[in-house]
A and B are shown apart, each in its own frame.
Chain A
Amino acid sequence: MAEHAHAVLAGADERDLTKISEYRAVGGYATLEKARGMSREAVIEEISNASLRGRGGAGFPMGRKLSLVQPPEAAGKPTYVVANADESEPGSFKDREIMSRVPHRFLEGCLIAAHAIGSKHVFVYIRGEYLAEFDVLKAAADEARDAGVLGDVTLVIHRGAGAYICGEETALLDSLEGKRGQPRPRPPFPPVAGLYDAPTLINNVQTLANVPLIIDLGAAEYSKIGPEASPGTVVYSLSGNVQRPGNYELPLGTTLRELIYDVGGGIPNGRQLKAIIPGGSSVPVFTPDQIDTPADFDSIQKAGSFLGSAAIIVVDDRACMVQLALRAEKFYMHESCGKCTPCREGTRWMVNLLEKIESGEAGHADLNLLRNVCDRVEGRSLCALGDFAVWPVRSYIDKYRDEFEAHLDGAGCPYGGESSVDGVMAPVDLHRHLPLTEVPA
Chain B
Amino acid sequence: MSAPETVTVTIDGREVQVPKGTGLVETALAAGIEIPVFCYEPRLGAPIGACRMCLVEVEGMPKLQAGCTLTAAEGMVVKTAQTSKVAADGQNSTLEFILVNHPLDCPVCDKGGECPLQDLTFRWGPPVTRNTFPKRTFEKPIPISPTIALDRERCILCYRCTRFSSDVAEDDQLVARERGAQSIIATFEDQPYRAPFSGNVIELCPVGALTSTQYRFEARPWEIQDVPTVCGLCPVGCNVDATTREGKVKRIVSRNHPEIDEGWLCDKGRFGFTHLRGGDRVVDPVRKVGQRRYETLSWDEALDAAEEMLRAAGANIVTALSGSETVEQAYGLGKLLRRGLDAHVAVMPEDVSPALDAFRLPLSAIRDAELIVILGDDPVVERAPIVDLWIKAARRKGAEVVESAIGEPGGGLARVRDELGERIRNSERTILIWSGAGGHGGATIAGLAAELGLAEKPGSGAFHLPETANGRGVADGWAAAADRDEADPEPIELLIVSGDEAAANPDVRALAEQAERVLAISMFRGPVSGWADLVLPGTSYLERDGTYVNLEGRVQRLRRAVIPPCPDELAWIAKLAERFDVELSPHPPQVFAELSERCYGGIDYPAIGEMTALPKRAEAVDVPPTPKTAKREAGKGLRLVSYRPLFSGAAVERVPELQFQRPGAEIELSAEDAKRIGVQAGSTVRVSSNGTSTELRARVNRMLVKGVARIPAEHARDLGTHVEVTT
Q: Which A residues contact B (CB, under 8 angstroms)?
A: 163, 165, 180, 184-185, 333-342, 344-349, 352, 369, 376-377, 379-382
Contacts and interface: CB of A to CB of B under 8 A. Distances in A.
Nearest to B92: A376
B48 A339 contact: yes
A380 B55 contact: yes
Given A349-B133, A376-B96, A185 B181 contact: no
A180 B90 CA distance: 27
Interface centre among B50, B53, B66 (most CB of A within 10 A): B50
B52 A185 contact: no
A336 B181 contact: yes
B67 to A, nearest CB: 11
9 contacts: A336-B179, A339-B157, A341-B52, A341-B94, A342-B97, A345-B101, A349-B97, A349-B133, A380-B94
Contact of A341 (B98, B131, B179): B98
B101 A339 contact: no
Nearest to B63: A379
Nearest to A334: B180
- Which 10 A-B pairs give the minimum distances between C-beta atoms? A338-B183, A336-B180, A185-B49, A376-B93, A345-B97, A348-B181, A185-B69, A379-B63, A352-B133, A345-B100
Contacts of B94: 341-342, 380
A337 B177 CA distance: 10
Given A342-B97, A382-B49, A382-B50, A347 B55 contact: no
B90 to A, nearest CB: 6
B283 interface: no
Contact of B66 (A344, A377, A382): A382
A347 B69 contact: no
Interface in B40-97: 47-53, 55, 62-64, 66, 69, 89-90, 93-94, 96-97
A341 B180 contact: no
Interface string B87-121: 00110011011101100000000000000000000
Nearest to B90: A380
B102 to A, nearest CB: 10
Given A380-B64, A380-B93, A382-B66, A338 B176 contact: yes
A239 to B, nearest CB: 25
B156 interface: yes
A196 to B, nearest CB: 14
Given A333-B181, A344-B181, A382 B96 contact: no
Given A185-B48, A341-B156, A347 B98 contact: no
A35 B516 CA distance: 94
Contacts of A380: 52, 55, 63-64, 90, 93-94
B179 A335 contact: yes
Contacts of A333: 180-181
A349 B100 contact: yes
B130 interface: yes
Nearest to B157: A338
Contact of A339 (B62, B97, B159): B159
B178 interface: yes
Interface centre among A180, A341, A379, A381 (most CB of B within 10 A): A341
Contacts of B176: 180, 338
A163 B181 contact: no
Contacts of B49: 185, 340, 382
Interface of B: 47-53, 55, 62-64, 66, 69, 89-90, 93-94, 96-98, 100-101, 130-131, 133, 156-157, 159, 175-176, 178-183
Nearest to B51: A341
Nearest to B180: A336
Contacts of B62: 379
B180 A338 contact: yes
A344 B178 CA distance: 12
B50 A341 contact: yes
B299 to A, nearest CB: 61
Contacts of A180: 175-176
A377 B181 CA distance: 14
Contact of B93 (A336, A342, A352): A342
Contacts of B159: 339
Given A185-B66, A340-B50, A341-B53, 13 more contacts: A180-B176, A185-B49, A185-B69, A333-B180, A334-B180, A337-B180, A338-B179, A338-B180, A338-B182, A344-B181, A345-B97, A380-B93, A382-B66
A382 B52 CA distance: 8
Interface centre among A184, A338, A340, A345 (most CB of B within 10 A): A345
A349 B53 CA distance: 19
A71 B174 CA distance: 37
Contacts of B97: 341-342, 344-346, 349, 376-377
A356 B56 CA distance: 34
Interface centre among B66, B98, B130, B181 (most CB of A within 10 A): B181
A299 to B, nearest CB: 22
A337 B157 CA distance: 11
Nearest to B64: A380
A157 to B, nearest CB: 24
Contacts of B90: 380
B415 to A, nearest CB: 31
A402 B563 CA distance: 73
A345 B64 contact: no
Nearest to B99: A345
A337 B159 CA distance: 13
B51 A379 contact: no
B496 to A, nearest CB: 58
A410 B101 CA distance: 27
A299 B219 CA distance: 64
A41 B89 CA distance: 47
A52 to B, nearest CB: 25
Contacts of A341: 50-53, 94, 97-98, 156-157
A339 B62 CA distance: 22
B178 A338 contact: yes
A334 B93 CA distance: 21
A181 to B, nearest CB: 9
Contacts of A342: 52, 93-94, 97
Contacts of B180: 333-338, 344, 347-348
A180 B178 CA distance: 10
A376 B51 CA distance: 14
A180 B174 CA distance: 13
Nearest to A382: B49
Contacts of A344: 97, 157, 180-181, 183
A185 B179 contact: no
Nearest to A187: B69
A184 B180 CA distance: 16
A336 B182 CA distance: 10
Nearest to A379: B63
A60 B283 CA distance: 76
Contacts of B100: 345, 348-349
A231 B182 CA distance: 43
B98 A345 contact: yes
Nearest to B47: A185
Contacts of B93: 342, 376-377, 380
A171 B440 CA distance: 52
Contacts of B63: 379-380
Nearest to A339: B50
A335 B97 CA distance: 18
Interface centre among B69, B94, B157, B180 (most CB of A within 10 A): B180
B355 to A, nearest CB: 41
A201 B306 CA distance: 80
Given A341-B156, A380-B90, A369 B179 contact: no
Contacts of A347: 180-181
Nearest to B55: A380
Contacts of A184: 48
B52 A349 contact: no
A421 B358 CA distance: 79
A180 B186 CA distance: 14
A352 B134 CA distance: 10
Nearest to B176: A180
